[in-house]
Amino acid sequence: MQIAVAPDHAGFSLKQTVLTFLRRLGHTADDLGTYDTKPVDYPDSAQAVADAVLSQRVERAVLICGSGVGASVAANKFRGIRAGLCHDTYSAHQGVEHDHMNVLVLGGRVIAEALAHELVGAFVNAVLSQEERHLRRLAKIAAIEAKCGMKALNDQSKTATSGT
Protein backbone atom coordinates (compact mmCIF):
# COMPACT_ATOMS: atom_id res chain seq x y z
CA MET A 1 0.00 0.00 0.00
CA GLN A 2 1.15 3.56 -0.71
CA ILE A 3 0.93 5.62 2.50
CA ALA A 4 1.87 9.25 3.17
CA VAL A 5 3.22 10.38 6.53
CA ALA A 6 3.38 14.03 7.62
CA PRO A 7 3.91 15.63 11.01
CA ASP A 8 4.29 19.08 12.38
CA HIS A 9 7.42 19.73 14.46
CA ALA A 10 5.93 18.06 17.55
CA GLY A 11 5.39 14.86 15.60
CA PHE A 12 8.76 14.79 13.86
CA SER A 13 10.42 12.10 15.99
CA LEU A 14 7.36 9.82 15.86
CA LYS A 15 7.25 10.27 12.07
CA GLN A 16 10.70 8.71 11.80
CA THR A 17 9.65 5.53 13.59
CA VAL A 18 6.31 5.32 11.73
CA LEU A 19 8.07 5.54 8.35
CA THR A 20 10.52 2.82 9.33
CA PHE A 21 7.72 0.62 10.67
CA LEU A 22 5.59 1.00 7.52
CA ARG A 23 8.52 0.18 5.27
CA ARG A 24 9.37 -2.85 7.41
CA LEU A 25 5.79 -4.05 6.84
CA GLY A 26 6.39 -3.81 3.08
CA HIS A 27 4.46 -0.61 2.38
CA THR A 28 5.68 2.34 0.35
CA ALA A 29 5.79 5.24 2.77
CA ASP A 30 6.01 8.77 1.39
CA ASP A 31 7.67 11.28 3.71
CA LEU A 32 5.79 14.57 3.26
CA GLY A 33 7.93 16.43 5.82
CA THR A 34 8.65 18.14 8.08
CA TYR A 35 12.31 17.24 8.15
CA ASP A 36 13.40 18.62 11.53
CA THR A 37 11.99 20.07 14.75
CA LYS A 38 11.83 23.66 13.50
CA PRO A 39 8.28 24.93 14.21
CA VAL A 40 5.76 24.12 11.48
CA ASP A 41 2.00 24.70 11.58
CA TYR A 42 -0.09 21.51 11.65
CA PRO A 43 -2.62 22.82 9.08
CA ASP A 44 0.22 22.75 6.53
CA SER A 45 0.86 19.08 7.32
CA ALA A 46 -2.88 18.37 7.06
CA GLN A 47 -2.92 20.08 3.64
CA ALA A 48 -0.02 17.92 2.43
CA VAL A 49 -1.75 14.73 3.55
CA ALA A 50 -5.12 15.79 2.10
CA ASP A 51 -3.52 16.62 -1.25
CA ALA A 52 -1.80 13.23 -1.39
CA VAL A 53 -4.95 11.27 -0.50
CA LEU A 54 -7.39 13.27 -2.62
CA SER A 55 -5.11 13.15 -5.68
CA GLN A 56 -4.90 9.36 -5.15
CA ARG A 57 -1.09 9.45 -4.99
CA VAL A 58 -1.55 7.44 -1.79
CA GLU A 59 -4.31 5.21 -0.48
CA ARG A 60 -4.06 6.34 3.15
CA ALA A 61 -2.04 8.67 5.33
CA VAL A 62 -0.73 9.14 8.85
CA LEU A 63 -0.78 12.67 10.24
CA ILE A 64 1.01 13.57 13.47
CA CYS A 65 1.00 16.66 15.68
CA GLY A 66 1.61 17.15 19.40
CA SER A 67 -1.76 15.99 20.70
CA GLY A 68 -3.29 14.92 17.38
CA VAL A 69 -6.30 17.17 18.02
CA GLY A 70 -5.32 20.16 15.90
CA ALA A 71 -4.18 18.03 12.97
CA SER A 72 -7.42 16.03 13.14
CA VAL A 73 -9.54 19.19 13.11
CA ALA A 74 -7.58 20.62 10.18
CA ALA A 75 -7.61 17.42 8.11
CA ASN A 76 -11.35 16.97 8.47
CA LYS A 77 -11.94 20.35 6.80
CA PHE A 78 -11.04 18.79 3.44
CA ARG A 79 -13.98 17.28 1.59
CA GLY A 80 -13.34 13.56 1.18
CA ILE A 81 -10.89 13.28 4.06
CA ARG A 82 -12.02 11.14 6.97
CA ALA A 83 -9.39 11.58 9.63
CA GLY A 84 -9.57 9.88 13.00
CA LEU A 85 -7.49 10.58 16.08
CA CYS A 86 -6.82 7.17 17.59
CA HIS A 87 -5.29 6.03 20.87
CA ASP A 88 -6.46 2.40 20.72
CA THR A 89 -6.19 -0.36 18.13
CA TYR A 90 -9.94 -1.01 17.97
CA SER A 91 -10.60 2.55 16.77
CA ALA A 92 -7.66 2.41 14.35
CA HIS A 93 -9.08 -0.59 12.47
CA GLN A 94 -12.79 0.02 13.05
CA GLY A 95 -12.46 3.57 11.73
CA VAL A 96 -11.26 2.17 8.41
CA GLU A 97 -13.69 -0.75 8.33
CA HIS A 98 -16.92 1.05 9.24
CA ASP A 99 -16.17 4.71 8.52
CA HIS A 100 -13.69 4.38 5.63
CA MET A 101 -11.19 6.52 7.55
CA ASN A 102 -8.35 7.41 5.20
CA VAL A 103 -6.14 9.41 7.58
CA LEU A 104 -4.90 8.13 10.93
CA VAL A 105 -4.01 10.97 13.28
CA LEU A 106 -1.57 10.42 16.12
CA GLY A 107 -0.45 12.57 19.01
CA GLY A 108 3.34 12.62 18.97
CA ARG A 109 3.51 13.90 22.55
CA VAL A 110 0.76 11.57 23.77
CA ILE A 111 1.55 8.05 22.61
CA ALA A 112 4.68 5.96 22.80
CA GLU A 113 6.46 4.36 19.87
CA ALA A 114 5.17 0.84 20.56
CA LEU A 115 1.55 2.00 20.66
CA ALA A 116 2.07 4.03 17.48
CA HIS A 117 3.23 0.84 15.74
CA GLU A 118 0.16 -1.05 16.94
CA LEU A 119 -2.15 1.72 15.75
CA VAL A 120 -0.48 2.08 12.36
CA GLY A 121 -0.51 -1.71 11.89
CA ALA A 122 -4.23 -1.90 12.68
CA PHE A 123 -4.93 1.06 10.35
CA VAL A 124 -3.07 -0.28 7.32
CA ASN A 125 -4.31 -3.86 7.72
CA ALA A 126 -7.98 -2.89 8.00
CA VAL A 127 -10.28 -3.45 5.02
CA LEU A 128 -13.13 -1.14 4.02
CA SER A 129 -16.54 -2.64 4.80
CA GLN A 130 -19.09 -2.80 2.01
CA GLU A 131 -21.95 -3.62 4.36
CA GLU A 132 -25.14 -1.70 3.56
CA ARG A 133 -25.36 -0.06 6.98
CA HIS A 134 -21.84 1.35 6.69
CA LEU A 135 -22.34 2.53 3.11
CA ARG A 136 -25.64 4.18 4.11
CA ARG A 137 -23.87 6.12 6.86
CA LEU A 138 -21.04 7.14 4.53
CA ALA A 139 -23.61 8.44 2.03
CA LYS A 140 -25.10 10.58 4.80
CA ILE A 141 -21.65 11.98 5.58
CA ALA A 142 -21.13 12.79 1.88
CA ALA A 143 -24.49 14.58 1.85
CA ILE A 144 -23.47 16.64 4.88
CA GLU A 145 -20.18 17.55 3.18
CA ALA A 146 -22.03 18.59 0.02
CA LYS A 147 -24.61 20.63 1.94
CA CYS A 148 -22.00 22.37 4.08
CA GLY A 149 -19.83 23.02 1.05
CA MET A 150 -22.74 24.68 -0.77
CA LYS A 151 -23.55 26.76 2.31
CA ALA A 152 -19.95 27.96 2.48
CA LEU A 153 -19.99 28.88 -1.21
CA ASN A 154 -23.29 30.72 -0.80
CA ASP A 155 -21.95 32.59 2.25
CA GLN A 156 -18.83 33.62 0.29
CA SER A 157 -20.98 34.79 -2.60
CA LYS A 158 -23.17 36.89 -0.27
CA THR A 159 -20.09 38.46 1.32
CA ALA A 160 -18.57 39.25 -2.10
CA THR A 161 -21.76 40.90 -3.41
CA SER A 162 -22.38 42.90 -0.23
CA GLY A 163 -18.85 44.30 -0.26
CA THR A 164 -18.00 43.18 3.27
Task: Report, as an integer, the average pLDDT of 10-26.
Answer: 98
Task: Report, as an integer, the average pLDDT of 99-109.
Answer: 98
Q: What is the pLDDT, as a whole number, of residue 156?
A: 64
pLDDT more than 90, % of the chain: 88
Q: What is the pLDDT, as a whole number, of residue 114?
A: 98
pLDDT in tens, 35-64: 999 999 999 999 999 999 999 999 999 999
Q: What is the pLDDT, as a whole number, of residue 132?
A: 97
- The question of whether 65 is a catalytic residue gets the answer yes
Please identify which of the residues 27, 65, 86, 117 carries the catalytic annotation: 65
Q: What is the mean pLDDT of the chain?
A: 94
End-to-end Cα spacing for the chain: 47
pLDDT in tens, 138-148: 999 999 988 88
Identify which has the larger pLDDT, 157 or 9: 9
pTM for this entry: 0.92
Task: Report, as an integer, the average pLDDT of 100-122.
Answer: 98
Maximum CA pair distance of the chain?
56
Please identify which of the residues 9, 27, 87, 98 carries the catalytic annotation: 98
- The question of whether 98 is a catalytic residue gets the answer yes
**What residue type is assigned to position 151 of the chain?**
K
Cβ density class 89-120: b for 16+ within 10 Å, e for less: bebbbbbbebbbbbbbbbbbebbeeeebbbbb
